[in-house]
């Protein structure tokens, strides 16, 4: 067992992070750092989420972070977040009332009060945006999410795998326009939601997969918010080598460290698609190619898959250890590329069917992280 593994396994022991019972203004930067790494290059710039949450937390005080044990089993959980292009969301600012409208519409539709707000996606800005709403509404924030990372589409949520209906889905934006979408399946929810997001101007917020606490317990990735906070805190401690710090904290594999020598990227079909190539800094002539659709989907070396979805591949700034989202990759950046296993639910046959390489049009089967296998 390597030292890294020993440290990684120690996190199975009682964790001081579990004691955290609220999120305050001072925690936002920490949470943002963690969400950025868990976003696999996608999920949007967490700084947008920080900006939205800061004022709300300053005004309304800390938000309670709760587990499912803290909530009534029949209480209604509202998974929610931003949909659309994060690049647009930066300029298409929310007016603060979006969460209240999502909750009000959800309560009207179901006839039940919402007992807690949950981010449907922990990665990127979406780990933080619903926190803003929880603060304004005085609702607790559930320490869980529907991805355990970031993915680009609505079927790619654990609630879908667990058979929770995606509809009714509520959408709104800063203009007060509101949509309720009822469909027979999540593919139609995705289609109508994506089209409407474009009509809204490219970004909107949504709540879907409404469910009770007992269902959420089996249908979500638990502990996501704590994990992001712990990861962000580790990154803030920032030892001699920030990438090593992240690798240790996540029990991840460093796929390469070097310089970005090529970025081929285009925005098409509402997604950022393309590839980036990282050249090894140690002069060994190694090249790692990243395939991108919003998130980093796969890392290939000499035609071999070193890591791929649903595992998490994140590009880190070599100097700071901060995650670099795919839309900000550029020639010359000094980076480390890390990978760590995605939540186990995504590595089941059902999970791979909606979030494995084939779901993104990649023509190879799911391949566990090469380095991780060898390290066992």
Site of interaction with its own copies (CB under 8 A): 175-184, 188, 191-192, 194-196, 198-200
Closest CA to 53 of 145, 140, 130: 130
Cβ at position 282, least distance to its own copies in Å: 50
Using alpha carbons, select from 297, 314, 315, 306 the residue that is nearest to residue 356.
Answer: 297
Residue 184 beta carbon to its own copies: minimum distance, rounded to whole angstroms: 5
With b meaning 16 or more CB within 10 Å and e meaning fewer, what string describes 159-185?
bbbbebbbbbbbbbbbeeeebebebee
At closest approach, how far in Å is the CB of 126 from its own copies?
Answer: 23
Judged by CB, which is closer to its own copies: 5, or 108? 108
Cβ proximity of 52 and 133 under 8 Å: no
Minimum distance from CB of 167 to its own copies (Å)? 9
CB of 274 to its own copies, least distance (A): 26
Least CB distance to its own copies at residue 166 (A): 12
Residue 28 C-alpha from the chain's centroid: 15
CB 246 within 8 A of CB 318: no
CA atoms 333, 327, 262, 361: torsion sign: positive
Closer to its own copies by CB, 24 or 176: give it: 176
Taking the complex as a whole, how short is the minimal distance between the CB of residue 169 and its own copies, in angstroms? 10
φ, ψ of residue 128 in degrees (nearest 5): -115, -30
Find, among 282, 284, 318, 280, the residue nearest to 299 by Cα. Answer: 280
Cis amide bond preceding 22, omega within 30: no
CA distance 341 to 333: 25
Residues 6+ apart with CB under 8 A from 93: 174
Between 194 and 217, name the residue whose CB sits nearer to its own copies: 194
* 198 vs 373 by CB, closer to its own copies: 198
What is the rounded CA–CA span in Å between residue 369 and residue 309? 10
Three-state secondary-structure class, residue 245: helix
Taking the complex as a whole, how short is the minimal distance between the CB of residue 157 and its own copies, in angstroms? 19
**C-alpha to C-alpha distance for 312 and 151, rounded to whole angstroms:** 10
CB 80 within 8 A of CB 207: yes
Q: Shortest distance, CB of residue 285 to its own copies, whole angstroms?
A: 48
Among 219, 213, 220, CA closest to 74 = 213
Assign residue 285 a region: left if phi > 0, alpha if psi is -120 to 50, beta otherwise?
Answer: left
Instruction: Output 176 or 344, the one with its CB closest to its own copies.
Output: 176
Nearest approach, Cβ of 186 to its own copies (angstroms)?
12
| Residue (78 or 213) nearer to its own copies, CB | 78
Of the pair 112, 259, the CB lying nearest its own copies is at 112
The answer to whether 178 touches 200, Cβ cutoff 8 Å, is no
Whole-angstrom distance, CA of residue 48 vs CA of residue 29: 11
Per-residue tokens: 223 = 């502990």
């Amino acid at each position: 067992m390597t030292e890294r593994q020993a440290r990684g396994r120690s996190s199975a022991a009682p964790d001081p992070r579990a004691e955290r019972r609220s999120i305050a203004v001072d925690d936002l930067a920490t949470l943002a750092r963690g969400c950025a790494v868990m976003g696999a290059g996608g999920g949007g710039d967490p700084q947008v989420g920080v900006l939205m949450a800061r004022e709300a937390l300053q005004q309304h005080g800390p938000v309670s972070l709760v587990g499912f044990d803290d909530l009534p089993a029949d209480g209604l959980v509202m998974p929610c977040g931003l949909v659309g292009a994060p690049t647009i969301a930066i300029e298409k600012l929310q007016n603060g009332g979006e969460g209240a409208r999502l909750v009000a519409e959800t309560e009207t539709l179901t006839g039940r009060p919402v007992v807690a707000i949950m981010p449907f996606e922990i990665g990127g800005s979406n780990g933080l945006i619903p926190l803003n709403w929880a603060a304004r509404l005085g609702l607790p924030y559930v320490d869980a999410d529907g991805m355990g990372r970031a993915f680009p589409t609505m079927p790619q949520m654990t609630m879908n795998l667990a058979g929770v209906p995606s509809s009714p889905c509520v959408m709104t934006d800063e203009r007060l326009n509101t949509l309720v979408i009822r469909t027979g399946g999540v593919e139609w929810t995705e289609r109508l939601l994506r089209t409407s997001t474009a009509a809204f101007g490219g970004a909107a917020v949504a709540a879907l997969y409404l469910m009770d606490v007992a269902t959420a317990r089996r249908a979500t990735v638990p502990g996501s918010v704590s994990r992001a906070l712990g990861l962000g805190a580790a990154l803030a401690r920032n030892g001699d080598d920030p990438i090593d710090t992240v690798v240790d904290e996540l029990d991840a594999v460093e796929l390469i460290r070097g310089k970005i020598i090529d970025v081929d990227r285009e925005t098409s079909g509402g997604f950022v698609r393309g590839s980036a190539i990282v050249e090894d800094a140690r002069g060994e002539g190694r090249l790692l190619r990243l395939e991108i659709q919003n998130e980093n989907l796969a890392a290939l070396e000499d035609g071999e898959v070193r890591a791929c979805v649903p595992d998490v591949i994140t590009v880190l700034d070599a100097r700071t250890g901060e995650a670099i989202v795919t839309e900000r990759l550029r020639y010359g950046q000094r980076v480390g590329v890390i990978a760590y296993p995605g939540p186990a639910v995504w590595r089941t046959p059902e999970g791979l069917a909606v979030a494995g390489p084939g779901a993104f049009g990649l023509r190879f089967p799911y391949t566990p992280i090469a380095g991780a296998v060898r390290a066992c």
